[in-house]
Amino acid sequence: MDVIAPPRRLAVLGQGYVGLPVTIRAVEAGYDVVGFDVDKSRIDRLTRATSFVDDVSDQDLRTALDTARFHPTDDESALEGFDVAVVSVPTPLRDGAPDLGCVRDAALTLARHVRPGCTVVLESTTYPGTTEDEFVPLLESAGPWAAGRDFHVGYSPERIDPGNRRWTFRTTPKVVSGIDPPSLDAVAAFYRTLVDRVVEVPGPREAELAKLLENTFRHVNIALVNELAVHGHELGVDVWSVIEAAATKPFGFMPFRPGPGVGGHCLPIDPSYLSWQVRRALGRPFRFVEIANDVNDHMPDHVVHRIAARLNRERKAVNGSRILLLGLAYKPNSGDARQSPAISVARHLADQGAVLRAVDPFIEPQQVPPGVTLVDTTPDELAAADLVVVLTDHDALDWELIGGFASRVFDTRNRLGNCGAERL
């Protein structure tokens, strides 16, 4: 364990998919950490060492608690005396516009506790200008202290990829910024104690936009191959072979692969922040984002259409057909069902009267939509299904068993390869 000396007091506001990994890594590095969240039920789970985040195990929580340097709480008074505060709270879309309510609440909470020499970092995904125009004034609102003069402020976008065992919080390069050079120095110095590499950028606006660019790049390219999959099917072209062939080019190409849509905490939301700001500030749309949104948002509908067409060839209707869904999370090897296209597919099929059963070893029961029964992968379940639909290709699923006993398969992830399954 690499311990800094002496330990400093860190406050992490927001103990979800982003904030909790920061908290646990900081405890490992020797910080005394207040994990603050307004959700009391979440705090209760943390104090019982019960994790709800893929990248943090129950044992990780127990180890952190045993150090006596991890203090999960919903009591604001515990924030008193922090040296560094990291804000990792949700920034959802509401009616197509960014909702900064949680960011503003966190800033107002911290404003009552800022003091000379402390550092405050915003990590929540947002549009350029938020840190300097919205966050800083609220931090200064409760007292005589001025950002830049008395305390440091910066922005460092989160890059958490749930379930990714190679690129963890520690090993992923951390983009950092500050509202002035001393703030940049303070923010960079803090993250150097937590991650292997820090990347400094000129200011918060560049860091905020870099985050949106990263996710917009993925969103647009996924939309490209999703639309290619739709048209390729209609043209009788195997899009999976096309992508693999193109991927042999050693320069100028990066392979993306189609699927039932996009989900999680980034792709369905973050690019729309950029589109919203461009439309608001410049009076015109960000066309790439709006086209990508349209393509990716309609992929669950396309998947349902393909399922119906496959059943029709068997002289079956969706209504009354027994369909086994493999995977409900938005990505492999994760229990995260936020904005999951698999959930959207399940709801559409349920609305059409399908008898739905699903296999997902990571999902929690409360995340399963109405009309879907969770089951185990067994030969009987596979054989009884009128259609088996691969929506999320978890490594933990027994793919050899699935390939051996499922005779009718629609594979949206190409997990089973070209072995008789119909592919997206």
Query: 């029709």: which residue's tokens?
Result: 312
Alpha carbon 231 to its chain's center: 28
What is residue 74's predicted lDDT score, i.e. its pLDDT? 97
What is residue 417's predicted lDDT score, i.e. its pLDDT? 78
Identical fold for domains 211-294 and 298-423, yes or no, is no
CB-neighbour burial class of residue 352 (10 A; exposed 0-12, middle 13-18, buried 19+)? middle
d(CA 185, CA 13) in angstroms, rounded, equals 22
What is residue 180's predicted lDDT score, i.e. its pLDDT? 97
What is residue 418's predicted lDDT score, i.e. its pLDDT? 67
Catalytic residue flag (residue 266)? yes
Bridge-based pairing of strands 174-178 and 70-73 is unpaired
Pick the closest to residue 260 from 422, 420, 399, 424 (CA basis). 424
The one catalytic residue among 102, 118, 266, 419: 266
* Structural domain boundaries in the chain: 9-202, 211-294, 298-423
What is residue 285's predicted lDDT score, i.e. its pLDDT? 84
What is residue 150's predicted lDDT score, i.e. its pLDDT? 97
Which amino acid belongs to residue 75? D
Pick the closest to residue 76 from 106, 47, 46 (CA basis). 106
233 CB-near residues (< 8 Å, 6+ apart): 239, 306, 424
Residue 268 per-residue DSSP state: T
The CATH architecture of the domain made up of 211-294 is: Orthogonal Bundle (1.10)
How far is the CA of 264 from the CAs of 5, 154, 167, in angstroms?
37, 25, 17
Pick the closest to residue 186 from 115, 272, 121 (CA basis). 121
| 127-140 core/surface letters (b: 16 or more CB in 10 A; e: else) | bbebbbebbbebbb
**CATH number of 9-202, picked from 3.40.50.720, 1.10.3080.10, 2.40.50.100, 1.10.150.20:** 3.40.50.720
Residue-wise pLDDT tens digits, 361-370: 999 888 999 9
What is residue 2's predicted lDDT score, i.e. its pLDDT? 43
Which structure tokens are listed for 367? 């995340």
DSSP per-residue string spanning 134-179: IIHHHHTTTSS--BTTTBEEEE------TT-SSS-TTTS-EEEEES
d(CA 53, CA 17) in angstroms, rounded, equals 6
pTM of the model: 0.91
What is residue 4's predicted lDDT score, i.e. its pLDDT? 42
Topology of the domain covering 298-423: Rossmann fold (3.40.50)
Which structure tokens are listed for 8? 């400093």
Q: Which helix (H) or strand (E) holds 230?
A: helix 204-235
Q: Which residues of the chain have pLDDT under 70?
A: 1-7, 418
313 CB-near residues (< 8 Å, 6+ apart): none
Pick the closest to residue 228 from 326, 128, 299, 173 (CA basis). 299
d(CA 120, CA 183) in angstroms, rounded, equals 9
| Residue 402 contacts residue 424 (beta carbons within 8 Å) | no
d(CA 221, CA 288) in angstroms, rounded, equals 10
